[in-house]
Structure 1
Amino acid sequence: MLIRQEIRLWLIHIFYGLFFLFLIHRLFFPSFGMAERCMSYACYPFLKIHATLTHSLNAQAQDRKSVQELKLNLDVLQLEHDLLKGRLAQLEAQQIFLDQTKELVDFARRYLVEQKYLAKVLLCACSAQEDIIFIDGGSNFGLVKDDIVVYQQALIGRVIEVYPWYSKVALVTDQRCKIAVQLSALPENLSNEQAACGVCCGKNNKQLQLSFVPHFKPVVVGQVVISSGQGLVYPQGFELGVVQDVVTDLVSHKIQVQPMFDIEKVSYVYVLHKT
């Protein structure tokens, strides 16, 4: 037992002696020694892992930033595309106005375009029975029956019922809507006099059909359907949709039209007051 205590005591003295010599060596001979070398071997894997993880995280962050920038650029391009389409519709409508001065005068007399009411869409209900929306605005805001509802350059529908605080609007896809329209000019034939005319009829459940177009009038998929202003309700120069499919018989074309708007994505609309 005494021998073990003496051995332990000697080991303690040896440890402190070596530690003292190490301190003396570091004070008077500050050089790269074995301890630092061993420590470097132990630290190197951690440094390597840290660098690899940092590089990977930075690369992922850069990729996410690049994807976000591409999405933003895509949104900007889509917005510019929509604006150009709206501008094209305006130019085509202006050409029609120039060719049909009387239609322009009638439009100016019947509608006060400057007096627009911005209304929020409260509820949308499209089914096999009817296609309607309810908007935030009624007789207390000056709205009356047969006011026209538009979104950007697209014709949404007309007011069919007015209450004090809200109104009911029949969409152009509702079966109660019959709208005189004119197709945009074909690229090879820019004369509006040759453009096909017809009546756009709602079929409910977001479906729109163009009828009464003579079979000898050229119609192609992709043509824009624009209101012609004939009749007593709907103004001229607003888009309704795009020709999606054409079936021709011996008398006329039966044309399926893709509405210009997705009513589920429309939050606000403009109401144009009639004079």
Structure 2
Amino acid sequence: MKKTIFFRGGLLFFFFFGISRWLGIGGRTMESFSSYIVYPFLVVQNIFTDRLKIWSEHRTSYNDLTKELLHRKQQYEDLQKELIQVRSFCNYFENTKDLRSFFERYNHPHAQITSILLKNFDQSHFFIIDKGSSAGIEKNMIAVYKDCLVGRIIEVYPLYSKVVLITDPLSKVASFCSTNGVKGIFEGTGQIKNAVLSYVNPLDEVKQGDIVLSSGEGLIFPRGFGVGKVVHSEKKGIHYSIKIELFLNFTTLDYCTIIPHYTQLIECEKKQGQH
């Protein structure tokens, strides 16, 4: 369409130019006449040039804005990622505060805080934790939470490990009552909150409310860790029926500390050195 207009305008210009030459119109008059013919083309050219300039500037501005938007979006995603990492670390730091203070009480540098990935309380009771042989975890290491026993490592893989809990029906922990030193075997019953204390001498006295600790005998669990307290004690002939209520609620645990089975309390070592 534009080409047709310019073409017709050009023909019209040359037509009038030829007529003026044929009629013998003077140069001055011809220049004036030509200016009327050329002026519309100059106006159209100016409008077209301005529009093209505006369009070009707008296109450049749009591209710049698009690039800036993508840059800002990437910055937002990076900051969001950092925020998530910081929040996650703060949450981990707060939730493991007590466990980190636990580190200070033990003399072994290889104790590690681990996250619990999976909990099972069906026929067998166990946890799957997020560290394995690649992190230095070994079979028969002990899982604890603060000063309480959780269980023992029975299977180790490169990236995770399996912890059998002291509530498992096959778990046994050599234990003693804290007030009078009465010895027995803490046995899991498959219940989350309760266990029993077996193989107690019927001549010994077991008091309700007494705290039961691991004795370290049997070379499986270290000495001095809490397992529970006596909530029921009854003699039946030559046998005791002793019910233990666990200190820990394993269903709510999210973390635990893994330590070698030979770990001892610093306080215990100091007391032994004083005697």
TM-score normalised per structure 2: 0.54
1:180 paired to 2:167 = no
Deviations 1:237-256 (A, max 9, x none): 00001111122112131211
1:262 paired to 2:249 = yes
The residue that corresponds to 2:215 in the other structure is: 228
- Identity across aligned pairs (percent)? 33
**More strand, by proportion:** 1
* 1:143 CA drift (Å): 0.6
SS of the aligned residue for 1:216 comes to: coil
The residue that corresponds to 1:247 in the other structure is: 234
In the alignment, the residues of structure 2 paired with residue 177 and residue 112 of structure 1 have an alpha-carbon distance, to the nearest angstrom, of 26
1:204 paired to 2:182 = no
1:49-198 correspondence to structure 2 within 5 Å: 113-127=108-122, 129-185=123-179, 194-198=180-184
Runs (5+) with no aligned partner, structure 2? 1-97, 263-275
* 1:195 CA drift (Å): 2.2
Deviations 1:178-219 (A, max 9, x none): 11101010xxxxxxxx42110011111323111011222111
Amino acid at match of 2:124: E
The residue that corresponds to 1:47 in the other structure is: none
- Corresponding residue pairs, total: 159
Runs (5+) with no aligned partner, structure 1? 1-81, 91-110, 186-193
Which structure has more relative contact order (CA 8 Å, sep 6+)? It is 1
In the alignment, the residues of structure 1 paired with residue 205 and residue 141 of structure 2 have an alpha-carbon distance, to the nearest angstrom, of 33
* 1:176 CA drift (Å): 2.2
In the alignment, the residues of structure 1 paired with residue 217 and residue 114 of structure 2 have an alpha-carbon distance, to the nearest angstrom, of 26
1:216 paired to 2:211 = no
SS of the aligned residue for 1:140 comes to: helix
1:4-83 correspondence to structure 2 within 5 Å: none
In the alignment, the residues of structure 1 paired with residue 257 and residue 184 of structure 2 have an alpha-carbon distance, to the nearest angstrom, of 26
Deviations 1:58-109 (A, max 9, x none): xxxxxxxxxxxxxxxxxxxxxxxx9xxx9xxx9xxxxxxxxxxxxxxxxxxx
SS of the aligned residue for 2:108 comes to: strand
In the alignment, the residues of structure 2 paired with residue 245 and residue 273 of structure 1 have an alpha-carbon distance, to the nearest angstrom, of 32
Amino acid at match of 1:258: E
Q: 1:274 to 1:197 in 2, by over 3 A?
A: closer
* 1:232 CA drift (Å): 1.7
In the alignment, the residues of structure 2 paired with residue 248 and residue 155 of structure 1 have an alpha-carbon distance, to the nearest angstrom, of 27
* 1:221 CA drift (Å): 1.6
SS of the aligned residue for 2:190 comes to: coil
Amino acid at match of 2:185: V
SS of the aligned residue for 1:114 comes to: coil
Computing the radius of gyration from Cα coordinates, the structure with the larger value is 2
Deviations 1:114-137 (A, max 9, x none): 32111001111112x111111110
Name whichever of 245-254 and 196-205 sits farther off: 245-254
Q: CA RMSD in A?
A: 2.1
SS of the aligned residue for 2:212 comes to: strand
